[in-house]
Amino acid sequence: MINPFAPIGRGLLEVLAEIGRFAAFAGRAAGSCFSPPLFAGQFGRQAMQIGYFSLPVIGLTAVFIGAALALNIYVGGARFNAESFVPNIVVLGITRELGPVLAGLMLAGRVSAGIAAEIGTMRVTEQIDAMTTLSTDPFRFLIAPRVLAATLTLPLLVMVADIIGVMGGYLVAVHSLGFNGATYLRNTFDFLESQDVILGLVKAAVFGFIIATVGAYQGYNSQGGALGVGRAATNAVVGAIVLILAVNYVLTAFFVE
């Protein structure tokens, strides 16, 4: 007789095994970032690729989100005569939540999929095996520079996103909603606390680590030719997004307490 709980148990064990494999991979990836040799040239290339070339997409996302946020807060605030709180809530929302989360989500699509596809192609064409036979550890040469670059550049991108997002809110508030520009900026800076910015930057660094590690994990373990590489890229995006949202809640709860 077939045990009806067997498939559930098997599925659960497989999920736990996958979590274990990913945790071991992430630990090895993190360790590789701090053990020599460090490939500075590779790190520089990845920092440009992940950080600098993501600026346009992050900037555009931030300006529109800041603008839309200002409009929504104005409409919502008008219901209880709190329109004047627009600058305060825009800056709080952008720095603590929307800046890091949206930058993380955008990079999960752009960077995590790219890393998974690149490393996955290297895996299925035996380039990773070739690297090992050439006495070079793929974790140090391929994965550590990407993980380090994403972890260090995402906070910088989020700082830019914070500034552009606040400017998006400012432009809508001043030009569409009739706010005084100087008053808007003064309220913004008076209300902003350093811990709001720090929370956003800590989140960004963690999200950067997640984005690169999930992409590298999926790519490194891909198999089955083009189909496998495509699957790795899809799994990387989905996995990174889910992890970012879950970890975002944990970090927010931790900082609130």
Residues lying near another protein in the complex (CB under 8 A) are found at 37, 39, 121-122, 125-127, 129-137, 141
Cβ 59 vs Cβ 161: under 8 Å? yes
Residue 35 CB neighbour total at 10 angstroms: 11
Residues ≥6 apart with Cβ < 8 Å to 166: 66, 90, 91, 94, 188
- To another protein, the closest distance from the beta carbon of 64 in angstroms equals 34
Backbone angles phi, psi at 192, to 5 degrees: -70, 130
Between 13 and 78, whose beta carbon lies closer to another protein? 13
Between 144 and 158, whose beta carbon lies closer to another protein? 144
Backbone angles phi, psi at 88, to 5 degrees: -65, -45
CA distances from 6 to 1, 16, 206, 230, 256 (A): 11, 15, 36, 31, 41
Residues ≥6 apart with Cβ < 8 Å to 43: 145, 148, 149
> SS3 for 114?
helix
Candidates 100, 76, 74, 102; CA nearest to 169 is 74
Between 72 and 136, whose beta carbon lies closer to another protein? 136
- To another protein, the closest distance from the beta carbon of 208 in angstroms equals 22
- To another protein, the closest distance from the beta carbon of 133 in angstroms equals 4
Rounded to whole angstroms, how far apart are CA atoms 149 and 32? Answer: 13
Between 130 and 198, whose beta carbon lies closer to another protein? 130
Between 176 and 223, whose beta carbon lies closer to another protein? 223
Candidates 69, 215, 99, 198; CA nearest to 147 is 215
- To another protein, the closest distance from the beta carbon of 225 in angstroms equals 12
Rounded to whole angstroms, how far apart are CA atoms 9 and 202? Answer: 36
- To another protein, the closest distance from the beta carbon of 130 in angstroms equals 4
Between 5 and 34, whose beta carbon lies closer to another protein? 34
- To another protein, the closest distance from the beta carbon of 45 in angstroms equals 9
Between 134 and 253, whose beta carbon lies closer to another protein? 134
- To another protein, the closest distance from the beta carbon of 251 in angstroms equals 34
